[in-house]
Amino acid sequence: MQIGMIGLGKMGANMVRRLTKAGHELVVFDRSAAAVRQLAEEGATPAESFADLCRKLTAPRSICLMVPAGIVGTVLNELMPLLQSDDTLIDGGNSHYQDDIARGAECRAQGLNYVDMGTSGGVWGLERGYCLMIGGDSRVVERLDPMFRALAPGAGDIPRTPGRSQQSTAELGYLHCGPSGAGHFVKMVHNGIEYGLMAAYAEGFNILKHANVGKHQAEHDAETTPLRNPEHYQFDLDLADIAEVWRRGSVVTSWLLDLTAQALAQEPDLGSFSGRVSDSGEGRWTLQAANDAGVPAHVLAAALFERFASRDLDQFQNKVLSAMRKGFGGHLEQGKK
């Protein structure tokens, strides 16, 4: 099928490559002329503008947006006047699901179709395929099935879940989750879970890294909690080897662990990283949904707040704590006299 792609960053460009490899015809546009030129050399049809892209697509058009969530609205405002009845817009980024609900209604009012496509797979998607969580009208989603099937990883060598009798496209790595907004809602929670998993691995490896704390001379003063049994913490552990052994037969085996093992093998002290961890919004939105639904999400909340702390956003509250301790007990911060 013919597909337009707007946004040719790491994800968008690799999606174009995967779709092209599957035999689809891609018309591509990006603000970067170099990005467009590169994919044109690989077989895609280049477009010089939104209008040019629309002219080169045959109606009913299918246009996928792989742009940052913050500019989706602007792109849609420019694109929609160029479209005609039954054209379809697909948002494959990480938009807020509530925005999808509103955009879906706006598109329907103008005779257009809107599909939200939560996309997981990152920079490895070209090789592994993309897990797709889709929201929108069933008729339109079915029409786009060749695109979703090409992007998804397929069944691969993953065996069927024991006891599962229902057959669906979920076993191929893509799923129509429900109406507008459902796809990005599922992807939002997926990313919230991702935060929690990543935080658990990170905290575990940090404990392992400090398993030799008993070998170091500790200060003995009123401001330092003494280590009760230093002899219990004398382990110099090889974190790269531990990550590797956990990859083989362990219940904590996962792709995230694979990536951790790879990073530790290449750089055991991870010295090239500052430890400043960003969040792109989905973790916050997941907690908002949990709050609205009255559902506890202790682990996801802690994982999100840990990312805030990594960016020194806890610095002032820690100063408040120090000020109170000095006030009620004359306690000075360590390193200050």
At 286-324, the pLDDT tens digits run 999 999 999 999 999 999 999 999 999 999 999 999 999
Which residues, listed in sequence order, are joined to residue 88 by a DSSP beta bridge? 62, 113
**Cα–Cα distance, 4 to 274 (Å, whole number):** 38
**Cα–Cα distance, 130 to 148 (Å, whole number):** 9
At 102-132, the pLDDT tens digits run 999 999 999 999 999 999 998 889 999 999 9
Task: DSSP for 122-155, please give it.
Answer: GGGHHHH--EEEEES-HHHHHHTHHHHHHHS--S
Check: CB of residue 197 under 8 Å from CB of residue 254. Answer: yes
Q: How confident is the model at residue 220 (pLDDT cuts 50, 70, 90)?
A: confident
Instruction: List, by residue number, the catalytic residues.
Output: 187, 194
| Burial class for 226, CB neighbours closer than 10 Å (0-12, 13-18, 19+) | exposed
Q: How confident is the model at residue 336 (pLDDT cuts 50, 70, 90)?
A: low
At 29-87, the pLDDT tens digits run 999 999 999 999 999 999 999 999 999 999 999 999 999 999 999 999 999 999 999 99
**Cα–Cα distance, 321 to 305 (Å, whole number):** 18
Check: CB of residue 95 under 8 Å from CB of residue 69. Answer: yes
